[in-house]
Amino acid sequence: MLTVCIPPIELWDETKNEFVGTKGATIQLEHSLVAISKWESRWNVPFLTKDKKTPEQLLDYIKCMTITQNVPQDVFNTIPKKILNRIVEYINNSMTATTFSQRETKGGSREIITSELIYFWMISYGIPFECQKWHLNRLLTLIRICNVKNQPAKKMGKKELMSRNAQLNAARRKKLNTRG
């Protein structure tokens, strides 16, 4: 969860020819499957694509991420660039210490990922629905781990096996202080 403080700001209203003050607010945000599901239902396009989001779409996603109740619209309209950058950093953060080996990251599906597909994966792997409120990148890492662990072990190629054995033998020789 990310908590941000939007400061109060004074703006010029050209229609009324006067300064209008907006209230600041402290809001809590969560980049989760729930937020993506809300956003996709409004925009009818997949969120998890490489396509750049318009400023309007990004602002609407921030609204979908907001856990804090009854936040006035003008608070969202006056989010400073510095705080927007912090929100984008939070969205892109992996939120996990898990890493994957190069061997497991080869390839990749060209399947379009939507919130419904992620829900399907959760059901398939028996992941409880409470996890839909986790940071999305953490949930996707859990799904990926379930996928890797449920696949049969891959056999190493001849070159890869010989290379690994050579490394193990070199480490043993060094540890035991022998020549072979």
92: closest CA among 1, 16, 31? 31
For 115-143, what is the mean pLDDT?
Answer: 95
Check residue 106 and give its pLDDT.
53
36 pLDDT more than 90: yes
d(CA 135, CA 39): 15
Model confidence band, residue 178 (pLDDT cutoffs 50, 70, 90): confident
Cβ–Cβ < 8 Å for 28, 3: yes
Check residue 29 and give its pLDDT.
96
d(CA 119, CA 128): 10
What average pLDDT does the chain have? 89
Model confidence band, residue 108 (pLDDT cutoffs 50, 70, 90): low
Check residue 83 and give its pLDDT.
95
Among 19-33, 77-91, 151-165, the least confident range = 151-165
89 pLDDT more than 90: yes
118 pLDDT more than 70: yes
Question: Which residues have a Cβ under 8 Å from the Cβ of 11 and sit 6 or more positions away?
Answer: 19, 20, 21, 22, 78
